Each structure stands twice: as C-alpha cells, then as structure tokens.
C-alpha cells in the first residue's frame, strides 16, 4: 500500500485514485451480487426439481452429488471474491486514513471515500449471505 501512494504526487491524487478503485470494485461486486442472486433463484428451483426426481427414482445419488459439487465449487469461487473485496476495503481504509491525516485533503472527497467503503462493506455482506444460501442449497442436495 505504501508503494502505491508513492506513485502519486500528493495525498489528494492518491485519494482520488483510491476512490476510483473503490468505485470500480463496488460496481463489480454489485454486478456479481446481482448475478449470484439470479443464480441462487435458479439453483433453488433446480435443486427442488432434482430432489423430487430422486424421490421418484428419476435421478440418482450421483446426480445429487454432482449438483452439490458444482454448487460447492461456486461457493469456493464466491469465497475468493469475498476475500478480494475484504482486501480492497482494507486498501480503501488505508487511503482514507492517509487522507484524514493530510490537512490538504478535501472533506468532500473524504466523505465520498467513506461512502464507497460503507457501500462496499454492505455489498460484501450481501455476498457473504448469498454464499450461505448456496451452502443451504448444497446441503438440501445431500442424501
């Protein structure tokens, strides 16, 4: 993080770049959360259909296991993204701390960064909750 700050002429430029990074990250996480929300709805429906098919003898344990494994792979992917978002929040907080210690930093930009951090943190929480929903779907596929 310290090396990144050295790339900029002053703390204000570093804050601007950090705000832009946080904004791009937030947008990506929001898109991922929307896609994940839609995928969870589909997976819920598919899991229910597969479970009924299994009860009626039209699906095997292997079918259930394959579906659960695919969901668990998606969960692992989401967990990596959650970790990345956490790292980005840490970087943004570091930049905010640097800006807070600089008298020349614009209060408006500091407020924008605080807002980005808060929104990014909320999106991370949504992603964590959705990852738990994936876990519940996977458990339902257990026989």
Domain residue extents for the chain: 7-140
Q: What is the reported pLDDT for 9?
A: 67
Distance CA 138, CA 46 (A): 11
Q: What is the reported pLDDT for 81?
A: 97
pTM of the predicted protein model: 0.90
What does R_g of the chain's alpha carbons equal in angstroms?
Answer: 21
Distance CA 11, CA 100 (A): 10
Distance CA 143, CA 43 (A): 17
Q: Which of 61, 72, 42, 86 is nearest to 132 (CA)?
A: 72
Query: Tens digit of pLDDT per residue, the chain (143 long)?
Result: 444 666 666 777 888 999 999 999 999 999 999 999 999 999 999 999 999 999 999 999 999 999 999 999 999 999 999 999 999 999 999 999 888 887 666 889 999 999 999 999 999 999 999 999 999 999 999 86
**Distances in whole angstroms, Cα of residue 48 to Cα of each of 29, 86, 130:** 28, 33, 18
At which residue do the structure tokens 């995928």 appear?
Answer: 39
The token pair that represents 92 in the structure block: 């943004």
Residues 6+ positions from 7 with CB-CB distance below 8 Å: 14
Tell me the residue length of the chain. Answer: 143
């Amino acid at each position: 993080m310290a090396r990144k700050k050295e790339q900029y002429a002053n703390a204000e430029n570093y804050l601007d770049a950090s705000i832009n990074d946080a904004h791009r990250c937030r947008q990506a996480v929001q898109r991922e959360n929307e896609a994940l929300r839609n995928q969870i709805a589909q997976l819920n429906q598919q899991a229910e259909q597969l479970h009924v098919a299994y009860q009626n003898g039209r699906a095997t344990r292997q079918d259930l296991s394959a579906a659960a494994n695919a969901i668990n792979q998606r969960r692992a992917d989401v967990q990596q993204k959650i970790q990345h978002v956490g790292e980005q929040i840490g970087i943004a907080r570091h930049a905010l701390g640097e800006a807070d210690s600089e008298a020349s930093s614009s209060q408006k930009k500091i407020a924008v960064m605080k807002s980005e951090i808060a929104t990014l943190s909320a999106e991370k929480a949504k992603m964590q909750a959705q990852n738990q929903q994936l876990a519940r779907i996977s458990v339902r596929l257990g026989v």
